Structure formats: C-alpha cells, structure tokens
C-alpha cells in the first residue's frame, strides 16, 4: 500500500461521482486534493479516460510540480491552475474542474449567475463570476482565474470552457459543483420564459457572503493551527 493511497482513493471516488452525474466526459475536467501539510497535491492524470481510471493513474506532485511517487500517467495539464488557486485561497483544500452542461451554457453566453436561492448562495457565494477565456493549461488562464478569487466565492465559470468549484475537502467541492448546476439549470429555464428573474434581496446576499467567508476563515484558522 502506497503512502498516498487513501488520498488517491478520495480523488478517484470524487471523479467517478462526477462521471456518473455527467459533470465530466472522456478526459475533460480534473480533480485535486491538497494534502493537510499544504506541501503537495493529489491530482487526476492528463489524457486518461476517467470512466476506466484506476488508483495507479492518480498523481501526487509537490508545489513545484515534481512527482512524489511513480504514476502511470502525467498530472493534469491544469495542475498549475490548481496550485495557483491553493496559493491564493488558503481556505481551499480541494478543487473540481468540470464541464457540466448547464454551467457550461453560461460559459458560452458570458453571463454570471446571480444569487437565486439562499441554500445555494450560502454555500457557493452570492454570485458566480465569469473567468475570461484563455487556452487550457496556459499561464494566461491561471492568471485569469487568480484575478477572480478575491470575491471569496466557491464557484466560478470559465468562459467557453466549464466550471471550477472549491471546497475545504472533496465532498464539499463536489457538493458545490452540484449546487452550481442546480442554480445554472434553474436560471437557464427562468431566463427562457422571458419573464423577470427575481434574485435574493441585497441584505440576504450580504448575509450569505458573510456566512461563506466566515466558514472559510474558520478553515484557514484550522489549517494554520
């Protein structure tokens, strides 16, 4: 049994859940988990069919992208993006990057998703921003993502690409992706009616933002001991 097998299994199980929900297809999308010491990440591989991926395909790299153990594949080409997010958002312990359908609709029309439901906004933040387009795996994409992280939301839409969901752990990151898809799907159908879409009152949006940031502050404090 390998040193990181427990964490690799968490990443694999998370990816299989995303596959079963149709949030990732083929080899698109990726999942990572930051180790508790903050010095390495466990991440899905590059160009591996996720539906048939095994534990041996999952990669472990340090913060300089140096492999910490043998793997049957190279780490995701977007691992640098994950590392930049962990550096900029010390509350994040896991990230899922998906190509989920309804969130992807808004990536094409360049439309942020506003605060629609308190149970969603209380988990992912009151607004899901659009990250400007850049080529997958590029430094420009990394820079574009980092430029949006200051709003302390837990979900973002990548223009003409997909979605990012953050969490303190993989379960929370996956749930945030699910909440994002719920909001995106309902917002899509609401917009299609041509009627005015009601959003949460501003004072409730402000409260939801405080709830999200408060939980993040607690996680940062826990991680820093």
Q: Which residues are catalytic?
A: 78
CB within 8 A of 55, min separation 6: which ones?
5, 8, 9, 12
> 101-109 and 170-192 are packed helices; what angle lies between their axes, rounded to 10 degrees?
60
Q: How far apart are CA 69 and CA 4, in angstroms?
A: 9
Q: How far apart are CA 62 and CA 141, in angstroms?
A: 21
Are 208 and 124 a contacting pair, CB within 8 Å?
no
Sort 50 into a burial class: Cβ within 10 Å, 0-12 / 13-18 / 19+: buried
Only one residue has tokens 């993040």, namely 216
């Amino acid at each position: 049994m390998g040193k990181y097998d427990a964490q690799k299994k968490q990443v694999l199980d998370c990816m299989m859940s995303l596959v079963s929900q149709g949030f990732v297809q083929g080899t698109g999308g990726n999942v990572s988990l930051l180790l508790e010491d903050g010095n390495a990440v466990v991440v899905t591989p590059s160009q591996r069919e996720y539906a048939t991926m095994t534990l041996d395909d999952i990669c472990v790299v340090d913060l300089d992208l140096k492999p910490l153990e043998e793997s049957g594949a190279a780490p995701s080409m977007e691992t640098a993006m994950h590392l930049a997010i962990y550096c900029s958002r010390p509350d994040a312990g896991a990230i899922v990057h998906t190509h989920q359908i309804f969130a992807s609709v808004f990536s094409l029309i360049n439309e942020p998703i506003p605060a629609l439901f308190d149970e969603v906004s209380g988990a992912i933040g009151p607004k899901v921003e659009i990250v400007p387009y850049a080529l997958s795996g590029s430094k420009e994409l990394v820079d574009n993502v980092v430029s949006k992280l200051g709003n302390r939301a837990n979900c973002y839409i990548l223009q003409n690409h997909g979605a990012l969901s953050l969490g303190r752990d993989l379960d929370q990151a996956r749930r945030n992706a699910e909440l994002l898809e719920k909001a995106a799907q309902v917002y899509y159908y609401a917009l299609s009616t041509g009627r005015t879409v009601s959003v949460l009152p501003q004072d409730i949006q402000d409260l939801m933002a405080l709830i999200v940031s408060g939980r993040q502050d607690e996680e940062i404090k826990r991680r820093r001991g």
